[in-house]
């Protein structure tokens, strides 16, 4: 209805391959970016700090994982451990006096190195066996963090993140932390969108579809699987650091437990594998829907509309949430991104059913 595709022509292949050749898509992206930038002025600190900011950071995490799971097709059930390594590395580096900018890089590099070492298992195993290998990583990293006091500061310790400045600006109040998180997420998004258009991205997709077929056409699976683990772990490590500094402002091992890994996988799956929009939608769904459901049922319970016990009240949201995830997997296995895509196409060919020429 609002998509206008006539008059879009290209005199160079470069513009033909642009991210959003259709003006309506560009407007949507611009409007959403503007909204995100203006958010500190538009929403209260509660919503900014407890909803928007975590949504952005978890989106970055989901996109990092989606690069590995969606584009390269390598399952990873220990991504929280990757983020944990990033978070702890950055905290310790800043404590040792390293500038924050370098600490973020360091977090990414350390996570990338360790992530790649474990990713090497992917060269030999696939599918469920790779899941086991990455699970092992999750537990190993958890164990090391908890049991090495030099890292965790003791078994039940919480490390507070020190005061930092980013490019000369203090990262202290909520607004500055939000903008840092938003900046990182946008950077990851742009990277993710563009990776798909590079030879690297196409190589990953070739490997995802069939690794030995990719090898036949000259894509080296050894190299690209390791590169996929490395890139994804780098992004995950930096996201872990951003999560620690902007959102939690402290690090404990529980923040990066196995549950978190599962949640990340859920974000990627519910959102849609290998889709940038899916990263945003999946993270939003997994983070926000439980809260909305809880609030809704609490309101219903308080208003006497339904008569339920306290115990039931705590569990109902989880039941609905579980049902919704099952529903998505049943009706739209390709995730929220596919629903978005279908909706977009519905309007793209409006008022017809399919494109005509």
- Which residue from 53, 83, 34, 32 is spatially nearest to 184, judged by alpha carbons? 53
CB of 206 to other proteins, least distance (A): 23
**163 interacts with other proteins by CB under 8 A:** no
The one among 212, 305, 331, 352 contacting other proteins by CB under 8 A: 352
**4 interacts with other proteins by CB under 8 A:** yes
**342 interacts with other proteins by CB under 8 A:** no
Angle at 72 between CA 63 and CA 107, to 5 degrees: 50
- Residues 6+ positions from 321 with CB-CB distance below 8 Å: 289, 290, 293
Alpha helices for 153-249 (secondary structure H): 174-195, 199-209, 211-216, 221-242
**350 interacts with other proteins by CB under 8 A:** yes
- Which residue from 259, 334, 270, 323 is spatially nearest to 293, judged by alpha carbons? 323
For the chain, state the CA radius of gyration: 21
Angle at 69 between CA 64 and CA 74, to 5 degrees: 125
**124 interacts with other proteins by CB under 8 A:** no
Rank residues 9 and 212 by Cβ distance to other proteins and give the closer one. Answer: 9
> Do 144 and 89 contact (CB within 8 A), yes or no?
no
Interacting span for other proteins (CB under 8 A) from 44-52, 104-112, 264-272, 347-355? 347-355
The one among 44, 304, 310, 357 contacting other proteins by CB under 8 A: 357
Interacting span for other proteins (CB under 8 A) from 7-15, 59-67, 96-104, 225-233? 7-15
Residue 55: cis peptide before it, omega within 30 degrees of 0: no
Nearest-angstrom CA–CA distance, 31 and 35: 6
- Which residue from 28, 91, 33 is spatially nearest to 240, judged by alpha carbons? 91
**10 interacts with other proteins by CB under 8 A:** yes
Rank residues 124 and 353 by Cβ distance to other proteins and give the closer one. Answer: 353
Alpha helices for 148-173 (secondary structure H): 149-152
**8 interacts with other proteins by CB under 8 A:** yes
Applying CB under 8 A, what is the total number of residues that bind other proteins? 20
Site string for other proteins, 292-331 (x = CB under 8 A): ----------------------------------------
Q: How many other C-beta atoms can be found within 10 angstroms of the C-beta atom of residue 41?
A: 8
The one among 7, 97, 168, 218 contacting other proteins by CB under 8 A: 7
CB of 339 to other proteins, least distance (A): 16
- Which residue from 240, 246, 241 is spatially nearest to 180, judged by alpha carbons? 246
Rank residues 14 and 46 by Cβ distance to other proteins and give the closer one. Answer: 14
The one among 9, 212, 305, 331 contacting other proteins by CB under 8 A: 9
Interacting span for other proteins (CB under 8 A) from 6-14, 145-153, 207-215, 221-229? 6-14
DSSP-based helix, strand, coil % in the chain, nearest 5: 75, 5, 25
Interacting span for other proteins (CB under 8 A) from 3-11, 138-146, 172-180, 253-261? 3-11
Q: Which parts of this chain interact with other proteins (CB under 8 A)?
A: 1, 3-13, 16, 349-353, 356-357
């Amino acid at each position: 209805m609002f998509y206008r595709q006539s008059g879009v022509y290209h005199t160079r292949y470069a513009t033909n391959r642009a991210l959003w050749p259709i003006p309506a898509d560009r407007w949507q992206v611009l409007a959403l970016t503007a909204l995100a930038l203006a958010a500190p002025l538009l929403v209260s600190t509660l919503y900014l700090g407890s909803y928007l900011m975590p949504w952005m950071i978890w989106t970055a995490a989901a996109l990092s994982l989606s690069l590995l799971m969606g584009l390269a097709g390598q399952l990873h059930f220990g991504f929280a451990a990757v983020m944990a390594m990033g978070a702890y590395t950055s905290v310790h580096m800043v404590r040792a006096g390293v500038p924050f900018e370098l600490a973020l890089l360091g977090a990414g590099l350390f996570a990338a190195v360790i992530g790649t070492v474990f990713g090497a298992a992917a060269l030999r195993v696939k599918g469920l066996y790779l899941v086991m290998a990455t699970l092992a990583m999750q537990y190993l990293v958890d164990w090391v963090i908890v049991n090495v006091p030099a890292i965790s500061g003791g078994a039940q310790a919480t490390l507070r993140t020190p005061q930092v400045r980013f490019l000369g600006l203090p990262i202290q109040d909520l607004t500055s932390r939000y903008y840092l998180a938003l900046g990182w997420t946008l950077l990851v998004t742009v990277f993710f969108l563009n990776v798909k258009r590079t030879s690297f991205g196409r190589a990953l997709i070739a490997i995802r579809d069939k690794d030995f077929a990719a090898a036949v056409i000259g894509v080296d699976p050894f190299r690209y699987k390791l590169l996929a683990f490395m890139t994804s772990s780098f992004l995950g490590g930096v996201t872990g650091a951003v999560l620690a500094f902007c959102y939690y402002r402290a690090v404990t091992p529980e923040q990066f437990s196995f549950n978190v890994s599962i949640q990340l996988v859920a974000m990627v799956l519910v959102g849609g594998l290998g889709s940038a929009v899916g990263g945003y939608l999946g993270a939003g769904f997994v983070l926000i829907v439980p809260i909305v459901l809880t609030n809704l049922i609490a309101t219903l319970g308080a208003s006497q509309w339904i008569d339920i016990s306290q115990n039931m009240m705590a569990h109902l949201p989880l039941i609905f949430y579980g049902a919704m995830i099952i529903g998505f997997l049943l009706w739209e296995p390709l995730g929220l991104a596919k629903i978005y895509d279908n909706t977009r196409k519905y309007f793209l060919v409006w008022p017809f059913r399919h494109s005509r020429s």
